[in-house]
Amino acid sequence: MSGLRGKTFYRCTVCNDIHYGNIAPKICPTCISKDAYVHIAEREAGVILKFLKIEEGKIFIENEVLKTFEDFTKSKDFTLNPDKECIELIVQGVLEHEEQYGLKYCPCRMTSGNFDEDLSLICPCNFKIQNNWKEIGECWCSLFIKRKE
Amino acid sequence: MQPLHKKERIMMAEKKQIIMFWGRRCPHCRAMEPIVQKLEEEEGIKFERLEVWENKENADKMRALADIIKPACGGYLGTPAFYDPNRNVALCGEKPYETLRDWALAKIDE
């Protein structure tokens, strides 16, 4: 969803900083991570910032979520998993979780019940800190995989 | 861990009940289902499957085991997570048949 003069929301996948603007910041002003922002819907921003309830505002539909994930991989050292069935299952999962619980929680990790703690489970997450990424070059759910040299 | 003979494995499996926490949109849980079924059929291990996203009670059971499951899942309540109540240990993620079998049949002191 685009807002005033084409502005829209972006979320830092490392620290969940929210940016409202025409383009995603190259460097996160909060955690200084580079190229870590992903395009998100207004409701996702509102729920993270705690001024919207989970039933308020529109969320992205499946194709829009997939596009944000694809865009997120551009010029990065990782890409989407080529297994379309796997991607479809994960996208359906994150959308179901957003519908039911307010945020795009990872379908392969359960929430703790603590809102702030569970912000780390929003997809895309900060998967480069995970052992899975370090050991096999995949995020925990295998949505994002290391690009081959 | 020493490999077990089939007879010994079956005897141990008769006493075994493993809890499998899984999510219905988790691709790794889906990939593990045929392996779990094969272990039930060939080794007699009983798996209690608890879906955690649709069933709040199951989610709470998983959260109550966070101290055991999180270290096995890289610091999260990851799925699929296998929990052995007898040994109070967990195994997490997509695993080969042999890995899950040997883990599930391990003795208490192993």
pLDDT digits (tens, 9 = 90+) for A7-64: 999 999 999 999 999 999 999 999 999 999 999 999 999 999 988 877 777 888 889 9
Predicted local confidence at residue A51, as pLDDT:
85
Q: How confident is the model at residue B11 (pLDDT cuts 50, 70, 90)?
A: low
Peptide bond before residue B85 is cis, with ω within 30 degrees of 0: no
CA-based nearest distance B98→chain A, Å:
20
Determine if the pTM surpasses 0.90. no
CA-based nearest distance A37→chain B, Å:
23
Q: DSSP H helical segments within B1-110, as ranges?
A: 6-14, 27-43, 56-64, 66-72, 97-104
* Res. B28: pLDDT tops 90: yes
* Contact state of A141 with B73 under an 8 Å Cβ cutoff: no
Check residues A149 and A120 and name the one with the higher pLDDT: A120
Q: State whether ipTM is beyond 0.95.
A: no
Burial group, residue B30, by CB count within 10 angstroms (0-12, 13-18, 19+):
middle
* Contact state of A121 with B76 under an 8 Å Cβ cutoff: yes
Considering only the beta carbons, identify the residue of B25, B59, B93 that sits closest to A96: B25
A81: its two tokens: 């998993």
**pLDDT (average), residues B36-64:** 95
Which uninterrupted H or E stretch holds B50? strand B46-51
Predicted local confidence at residue B6, as pLDDT:
61
* Contact state of A109 with B78 under an 8 Å Cβ cutoff: yes
| Average pLDDT along chain A | 92
* Contact state of A89 with B30 under an 8 Å Cβ cutoff: yes
Considering only the beta carbons, identify the residue of A107, A112, A140 that sits closest to B25: A107
